[in-house]
Structure 1
Amino acid sequence: MNKGFNKGAQGGFTLIELIVVIVILGILAATALPKFASLSGDARAASLQGARGAISAASSMLHGKWLINPADTINVEGSTISMNFGYPTQGTIAVAAGLDPKDYKAAPNGQQIVFTPINLPANLAGTCFVSYNEATAAVPAPVIATNTSKCE
């Protein structure tokens, strides 16, 4: 009984087998691509949620410090934060919250400041931002709002 290697047997894959594998890989890639394409938008939205949390925490901590010792400015970690009605002004909230200008573009507008991710396309600026409206006599606490409806 000779059970050795048969030299006449098939030595590789047929063309049909290779085409089937390529088609299956193409279908998998086509179904996975939309999921991976929207990851940048999800990352921007998550980054803005983190910025909102930092702004909110900084505002609350500085308000607590102001309640202990009311002053027009408060020094925190070597930075001077201007206060208005016991809360940080729109001009100094980015410093207080630790928002890096390399990560966020700030657009001040009166008593409001709007932060958008630095790499955000211009057409999405109105749908992907976090805003800080400083405290006024009419509104005792700052209003912090986030819009992440379209950050792709």
Structure 2
Amino acid sequence: MFNHQNKRINQSGFTLIELVVVIIIIGILAATAAPKLINISSEANVAVLKSMGGAVLSGAKSVYTKSLIAGVQDQQKTTIDLNGDGVDDVEVSYGYPSASRGNGISKIMASNFVTEWTWSTTYGDTRFWLTTASLGGRSGQYVNQTAVLASGCYILYDPALAPGDSPSISYITTDC
């Protein structure tokens, strides 16, 4: 005869109810944390733009100092030699880098500009748009402003328009 009282069954693991409770708790935690992580991403994009904007203005001021030394700060458009090699490096407008995509503000950007940024200019190079390559969907290339504007997260560089003026940076952060 088989005796059921002498045999003990050891059970290990989780019951279905315990697993469901854990999954619900993890879901609640994820729903609480997700908006904070999304907000951090947005804040990081804005910080990158502001950092780049500060670097652009700092570089523009350095170019202006060279323009003062060369005595061309009152000229509407000219080019100047930045490194003393006898070759004009950057186009300036009233002493500051112009908005030219080929010879202006893009010439003073850091070496990572080619791979990490997407940019555009208006016809006549009156304004320069700049966004990160990840937001603009392209890296290291000039594009029409549609890709930059579509990002909703970009910098506008407006060059100096008259003697004594300074360039300005505007930050568009609606969709960062």
Report TM bin, short chain: 0.7 to 0.9
- 1:87 paired to 2:96: yes
In the superposition, relative to structure 1, how do residues 44 and 63 fare at CA in structure 2: closer, same or farther (>3 Å)?
same
Structure with the larger RCO, 1 or 2 (CA within 8 Å, 6+ apart)? 1
Q: Which has the higher strand share?
A: 1
SS in 1 for 2:81: strand
> Take 1:66 and 1:27, find their aligned partners in 2: how far apart are those partners?
59
The letter of the residue matching 2:150 is A
Whether the 8 Å CA contact 1:135–1:141 is kept in 2: the answer is yes
Q: Letter of the aligned partner of 1:135 in structure 2?
A: A
Aligned counterpart, 2:132: 117
**Matches of 1:68 and 1:143, distance apart in 2:** 22
Matched ranges for 1:119-138 at <5 A: 119-120=134-135, 122=147, 125=150, 127-137=152-162
| Alpha-carbon offset, residue 69 of structure 1 | 2.7
Corresponding residue for residue 82 of structure 2:
75
Quick one: distance in 1 between partners of 2:29 and 2:53?
37
**Secondary structure of 2:135's partner?**
coil
What is the one-letter code of the residue matched to 1:73? I
The residue type equivalent to 2:109 in the other structure is: A
CA deviation string 1:112-142 (max 9, x = no partner): 1111222326596373211111112277111
Query: Please, which runs of 5 or more residues in structure 1 have no aligned partner?
Result: 1-6
**Separation in 2, partners of 1:49, 1:149:** 14
State the identity %: 32
Q: What is the TM-score with the length of structure 2 in the denominator?
A: 0.68
CA gap 1:144/1:47 in 2 versus in 1, 3 angstroms: same
Check 1:54–1:123 CA distance in 2 against 1; reply closer, same or farther (3 A cut): closer
Query: 1:139–1:106: structure 2 CA closer, same or farther, 3 Å change rule?
Result: farther
- Residue 55 of structure 1: how far off its partner (Å): 0.6
> How far is 1:38 from its partner?
4.2
CA distance in 2, matches of 1:135, 1:126: 26
Normalised TM-score (structure 1): 0.78
SS at match of 1:131: strand
Unaligned runs of 5+ in 2: 1-7, 73-78, 137-146
Residue 34 of structure 2 corresponds to residue 33 of structure 1 = yes
